Chain A
Amino acid sequence: MDGVSFEVRGGECFGLAGESGAGKSLTLRAVIGLLPPSTSLARGTVLLRGEPYHARSRAQRMGMVFQEPKTSLNPLMRAGEMIREGLRVHGVRGAHAKRSAIALLQEVGIEDPELRLRSFPHQLSGGQRQRVAIAMALAAEPAVLLCDEPTTALDVPVQERILQLLDRLRIERGLAIVFVSHDLAVIGRIAQRIGVMYAGRILECGPATEVLARPCHPYTERLLASLPRIDAGMPARGILGEPPSPGRWPSGCRFHPRCAHAKPDCSQAPYVLMDCGPDRQSACIYWRELELTAQRECA
């Protein structure tokens, strides 16, 4: 990853999109200070409400929800115990903790919360587990909720209900959400602002509707074109070639070897996000000249 920078405001959802291996999840882990030990030196700052955020700081917290609901809950702990672990962080214990845990389960839409408090993760469905994981993250009263593809492992109806839940929490709690997904349709559905990542860099960012309707970077265009569509008569088009592997990035614009619009000086282009509209940036040096189209209508 290199020069990834974004901001998310209270009550707003920032979507981070991109192919597998673009560095989306790594970005989230870096934010929360939980980079795997194999990663080399990471530098950067995270500001939470204008103050530097330290991983595991007691005053300012972030919650995290993961992709795989099977592994994101401690298999040896009941749902209630897990939620209480989060409540403990700000000193809620005893009978009060039980009431709060029930309230949290209710808030995330778990039916029969008193019974579910005593359920182990393996006794819950995927959607229920993800709800418990969200309740757990909320228990610690985070200002920011980081979601790493929280709906990818779920089937579509459940996916939609989890998205509705996140939307409600964002509005009701004024929660800031960072939502990572490879699925532009999901991102377009949940996020107000999005960033498109490729090979460890953000190539384009801006308001979701704008970016998806009028992409300012060839990569975003290709990503949109690769979405399968039911209504159109033509098949989804993939992106030619493989994404580069970390440490062997191409020079200049990292997308240029796969870019249909690439020109010779793309391989020397510096990485700068240039303003390309109100609240919008693109890293493509030719964004002005290119006539990019959104192959897909996104709400």
Chain B
Amino acid sequence: MSRFGFVGKRLLQTVPLLVVMLFVVYALVRVAPGDPAQTLLGLHATPARVAHLDKELGVDKPLLKGYLSYAWGALHGDLGNSVKAQQPVATIISNRLGVSVWLLAGAMLLSLLGAIPLALLAALRQGRSADHGIRMVSVLGLTIPTFWLGLVLVSFFALPTGLFPVSGFGQGVVGHLHSIFLPALTLAIGIAPIQIRALRLSLIGVLDSDFIATVRAMGLRERRVLMRHVLPNAVSASLTLLAAQLGVILFGEVIVENTFALPGIGQAMVQAIIQRDYPVVQGLTLAAALLVVGMNLLADVLQVALDPRVELR
């Protein structure tokens, strides 16, 4: 199968996933306890208003019919209207998705910037004090709760030094980078330990392999051996893990965006849940799920680009 055929196949495989995903998102409102419209409008609302809102939320229809009309709308970019903000859900998402993607990319980049050198060091010094030290620091990073770390960074670093903003998304690329640095760091500290562990393991495997001994024996400089031969092999083996971590990052974003008052989908999600703004909750869940699916697809494409053997699998 050609490489493009492979990507096409993966793309097709996501279709049933999207169908199920949409159903889960839609059913969210239907299985939530109590009548959504009644909950939204309060106990003293008139039956007429409740019925009107029921109709708007699509919960007056039978489950399957409601799902189909929701899916049809979603396909056309219509995710309904926010009950509280009087705004189309699609507009809310498009206003906020960018912030979350910036944060996602920043967290991934920062974590890899830390994880790759540390994993390399641990693998090269396997079983020695550097390896044990990195392991201990990783466990620490893994056990620190994201919400706590975010608060600590705000109150003991950002606020006293004034070096980083503690709310908002800033202006322009520099402003964005400036304001996402601390939240991205918070997320990166949470995910880097897993990356370090996984990368260390695949690095050890690669370092031990015959072809590394071959290129070392040839007299290649160690730096070139590591950069050209060891790392590409180890990283391509860990790509799937990195893709799987995106879901974890997205979950972390819900917390971190609230800590750092970043106007992303995580912050909107919490607001919408508190306000029982069901269409917004649905839309944001859908957006997050799509993001994860898209990123996994991207990881697959990257894997194909990196590893010539993938086309055979």
Instruction: Give chain A's interface residues, CB within 8 Å of chain B.
Output: 29, 32, 34, 36-37, 55-58, 61-68, 71-77, 85-86, 88-89, 120, 122, 133, 136-137, 139-140, 142, 146
Contact = CB atoms under 8 A, between A and B. Distances in A.
Contact of A76 (B210, B213, B214, B307): B307
B229 A74 contact: yes
A56 to B, nearest CB: 6
A85 B215 contact: yes
Interface in B186-213: 208-211, 213
Contacts, number: 83
Contacts of A56: 216, 219-220, 222
Interface of B: 126-127, 208-211, 213-220, 222, 224, 228-229, 232-233, 236, 306-309, 312
Contacts of A62: 217
B209 A71 contact: yes
Contacts of B215: 74, 85
Contacts of B219: 56-58, 61, 89, 140
Given A76-B236, A76-B307, A120-B309, A136 B210 contact: no
Contacts of A85: 215, 218, 220, 224, 228-229
B220 A89 contact: yes
A34 B217 contact: yes
A57 B220 CA distance: 9
B255 to A, nearest CB: 37
B220 A88 contact: yes
B218 A76 contact: no
Given A58-B219, A76-B236, A64 B208 contact: no
Residue of B127, B211, B215, B236 with highest tally of chain A CB at under 10 A: B211
A29 B214 CA distance: 11
B210 to A, nearest CB: 4
Contact of A34 (B126, B213, B224): B213
B240 to A, nearest CB: 16
Nearest to B213: A34
A67 B214 CA distance: 12
Nearest to B204: A37
A55 B215 CA distance: 12
B194 to A, nearest CB: 23
A64 B214 contact: yes
A87 to B, nearest CB: 10
A164 B232 CA distance: 35
9 contacts: A29-B213, A63-B218, A64-B214, A65-B214, A73-B214, A76-B306, A88-B224, A122-B312, A140-B219
Nearest to B217: A64
Contacts of B220: 56, 85, 88-89
Nearest to A60: B219
A198 to B, nearest CB: 25
Nearest to A65: B214
A72 B214 contact: yes
A203 to B, nearest CB: 27
Contacts of A55: 216
Contacts of A72: 210-211, 214
Nearest to A31: B217
Contacts of A65: 214
A36 B233 contact: no
Given A36-B208, A66-B213, A74-B211, A89 B309 contact: no
A17 B18 CA distance: 61
A34 B228 contact: no
A88 B236 CA distance: 25
A88 B216 CA distance: 13
B309 A68 contact: no
Contacts of A36: 208
A77 B229 CA distance: 9
Please list the 9 inter-chain residue pairs (A to B) with the smallest Cβ-Cβ separation, ordered nearest first: A64-B217, A140-B218, A66-B210, A72-B210, A120-B308, A71-B210, A89-B219, A74-B211, A86-B218
B216 to A, nearest CB: 6
Contacts of B211: 71-75
A63 B217 CA distance: 6
Contact of B214 (A37, A88, A133): A133
Contact of B217 (A32, A58, A67): A32
A122 B217 CA distance: 22
Given A57-B219, A76-B232, A37 B127 contact: yes
Given A66-B210, A71-B211, A122 B309 contact: yes
B104 to A, nearest CB: 27
Contacts of A74: 211, 215, 229, 233
Nearest to B312: A122
A3 to B, nearest CB: 24
Given A86-B218, A139-B218, 18 more contacts: A55-B216, A63-B218, A64-B214, A71-B209, A72-B211, A73-B214, A75-B211, A76-B233, A76-B307, A85-B215, A85-B218, A85-B220, A85-B229, A89-B219, A122-B308, A133-B214, A136-B214, A137-B214
